[in-house]
Structure 1
């Protein structure tokens, strides 16, 4: 009987752990909510029409998703290695990969701006960039406040 109870107590945490949603799903949901909040804030700040926001929404979401992916890949690239132990050849490869992603980011930004200019006026695009930057800063500050992490 003791063995059965002991086995149950050992298995319950494993079963509960297996049922929780993966961290990546939580992060994805959080990122999607932040994009929606950003879009509604942008709509308000720029006084966008329903037509403009309906055109902007897919462009903005796709851009945010692609930028996040490129940034995550660069983050993984540098944080999973010890630069002191890399050979010169491997370090060169890593740096080329980084520059390739930075070039992709540049191309993505150019394409994004071109897409925005099809929907918004140049002044509105500038306001969008300003608003987006301000919103991200506020989100970052709120995150730091909630987690108690020191400001950088």
Structure 2
């Protein structure tokens, strides 16, 4: 089992390293495929669990992506304006929008975890969070390393 995990990690790192600036959609799909493999391996999903888990996970991941990238982009655009010229009223409205967005992300994750409780054991649900964090950390490290070599 350790060998399988080590092999998967090596393949993951080599695959991420070998990205040669493909189109953004293609890169996103490559990363998603690597993430699926990584999570499946880390959770040791049975075929029955995988069939039930992945549609729920993909729906959650899509909702989370939409919130983070579309709604947060609007906030970022507002914050790119000269913040010193923003009135307290505008800043308060922006803070309220940001808080609402964070609350919505929290509610989506809470519903996601509740829906997983009938599919995965509590230990596997916790392992999922760890696997997501580990994958993101490794992906970020690969991009940082790649950027330093340029």
TM-score interval, smaller chain: 0.7 to 0.9
Q: CA RMSD in A?
A: 2.0
Pick from 39, 42, 48 the counterpart of residue 42 of structure 1. Answer: 39
CA–CA distance in structure 1, aligned partners of residues 102 and 118 of structure 2: 25
Q: Normalized against structure 1, the TM-score is what?
A: 0.73
Q: Normalized against structure 2, the TM-score is what?
A: 0.74
Pick from 47, 50, 54 the counterpart of residue 51 of structure 2. Answer: 54
Residues 111 and 29 of structure 1: is their aligned pair in 2 closer, same or farther, counting only changes over 3 Å?
A: farther
- Structure 2 unaligned runs (5+)? 1-22
Deviations 1:79-138 (A, max 9, x none): 433221111111111111101101101101101111221210000101111111101100
Deviations 1:51-71 (A, max 9, x none): 211222122222222222222
How many residue pairs get matched? Answer: 125
- Structure 1 unaligned runs (5+)? 1-25
Higher RCO (CA 8 Å, separation ≥ 6 residues): 2
- The corresponding residue for 1:139 is 139
List structure 1 segments (4+ residues) > 4 angstroms apart after TM superposition: none
* Max Rg structure: 1
Tell me the SS of whatever aligns to 1:119: coil
Deviations 1:19-77 (A, max 9, x none): xxxxxxx4343333322211211111221112211222122222222222222222541
